[in-house]
Amino acid sequence: MTNTTTLPDDLDKLIACPSCDLLQQRVIPAPGKFSRCPRCHSMLISNKRNVIDNTLASAVSTAILMCAAVFFPFISLKGAGLTRDASVMDAIGAFTSGFMAPLTLAVAAFIVIIPVLRATALFYALAPLRFGRRPAKHAAKSFRLAMALKPWSMAEIFVVGVVVALVKVVDLADVSLGPSFWAFAALVLIVVFENSTLCKWTIWRLLAPNK
């Protein structure tokens, strides 16, 4: 018969790869190092300092940059005697009529609403830890939501799409990039920074130290 009293301790020594689900012995790396999955090489544990600080910085930066991205001009096109300025809101509102109308909601959600919601959830979950306080009441749910929304946060994919489109447009008109474009470009770097510093295992251990 299984001894259920020892099961949590045994499970606590295991870790599942977030990418390929390989269950393996948990090895806490030396300070400043990180461990990887032996099968797919995804990062398992990053034993780096300032995980909370770095993740919070990413969340706050995302919120600030998104404000700039939404309210400042995105791009200006000049050609054939005409000048046309466009903002991100113009891009979102380009599908408000006809059968493509649902795209308005989808574009707004993927490039603005979900990134901001994710940044807010991360801030809510981690800010109390940063200031030495106990986690907020729904901190675990908030962090889980932030992780679940990650694949749907596509601000950086939007920028890549715009750059690809500009390659074709640049021969037809003079293109000027506005502050909003550079804010989105900075968001791409923020995403790379967050992916390289966020350690879910470390944050879960801080949010639920007894689990």
Q: Interface residues with Zn ion (CB under 5 A)?
A: 17, 19-20, 22, 37, 39-40, 42
Is the backbone of residue 59 left (phi > 0), alpha (psi -120 to 50) or beta?
alpha
Please report how close the Cβ of residue 143 comes to Zn ion at its closest, in angstroms: 21
Residue closer to Zn ion by CB (options 26, 89) is 26
Please report how close the Cβ of residue 47 comes to Zn ion at its closest, in angstroms: 18
Sign of CA dihedral 67, 69, 70, 73: positive
- Percentage helix, strand, coil, to 5, in the chain? 60, 15, 30
Please report how close the Cβ of residue 43 comes to Zn ion at its closest, in angstroms: 10
Q: Which residues contact 207 (CB under 8 A, 6 or more apart)?
A: 125, 129, 135, 139, 140, 143
Residue closer to Zn ion by CB (options 24, 76) is 24
Please report how close the Cβ of residue 201 comes to Zn ion at its closest, in angstroms: 14
Residue closer to Zn ion by CB (options 150, 182) is 150
Residue closer to Zn ion by CB (options 176, 195) is 195
Residue closer to Zn ion by CB (options 22, 154) is 22
Helix (H, G, I), strand (E, B) or coil at 133: coil
Please report how close the Cβ of residue 23 comes to Zn ion at its closest, in angstroms: 10
Q: β-strand 82-86 against 14-16: which pairing, if any?
A: unpaired
Backbone angles phi, psi at 147, to 5 degrees: -70, -40
